[in-house]
Structure 1
Amino acid sequence: MTSPNATTCRTQPVEPGSYGCSSTVTDFPQAERDGVITRMIEFAISSTKDQAAPLIGVYDHAALASEEAEVRYLLGDIPGAISALHTSLRHRPTTERRSRAILLARLAELQLRAGRLDQAITTWHHFLDEFPALSCGRAITALKTMRACLRPYARSPAAASVLHHAATLTTPTTAPRRTARSPG
């Protein structure tokens, strides 16, 4: 879900890939793109009554909504991606702290991209509240991405508050290194 250079904020639209012709996904009307996404989602959660294409197992609604958010983002539908992330968070149990935190960071990133600085800041504060309980590379990457995204807004008191909150956190890259004791 994150780009290879995740420490930079994605402020420019992603150029969707070509599908073997000169058309790209964004060449199609928004209603047609929404229709394709809706049909994909309906198929993914449909029952196994259709024996021609039975589904194996069950796909979690929270995970499906998260995947929908990424598809919508790649298609240029930022409001739809934000809505899908809200849905994913609603369906994700509070016990799934790591997943919820990563989703919160992604949601804040998209909110900022949509020009909703105040919402993004509130969401990033929620992410930072969860961060101390996490120990994973994706959370550290999300923290670095947050700092990069908010750097241009550092003069805003609200953004400065989030950056200050982030500065108080200890990550494996900022924690003091343990040194081996010499024998003796």
Structure 2
Amino acid sequence: MRRTVRLLTGSALAVATAGLLASPASASGTGGLELSPPSVVPGGHVTVTTAACGPGGTAAGDASAVGAGTFPLAPGTGKQGATGRFRVPPGAQPGTYEIAASCVRGGLRVTGDLVVTLTPPRQQVHPRGSVKTGIGGALGPDPVQTAAGVAALAVAAAGGTWLLHRRARGDGI
């Protein structure tokens, strides 16, 4: 029984090892291709970065799918990997295009998707002004009007206090 278990375990291990050795080289564990920005308008510039070629590695980029041709990726600084840049042609049509890079050493090929749009990516809009909620703010956001309102409330409070004090003394109104 033990001999059968060892034989089956050894066979399973051999099959798994052979499967790993026979699989083609891929960039799934090495980072792939990063495009910045991932969405661009025609005529815009794109920076391409990959760590798949290893530290100090170089690559040849291919953006011919979008009409930009080839471009080099040179070693970047630190852990950045190889970096290159290309310009999307002004006549590029909207759509999603595959951008590729092949490492000079090892021939590893990595890809990334670039989206070409006719409208630039939305910029974050910060709100300004007052919010019209329907409650409060009857005088508006003007500081002079706000000060006048506070003064009117102060006079009313002082008058009310004086009348209550007079009533408590018995002077009447």
TM-score by length of structure 2 reads 0.21
Rg comparison, structure with higher value: 2
More helix by percentage: 1
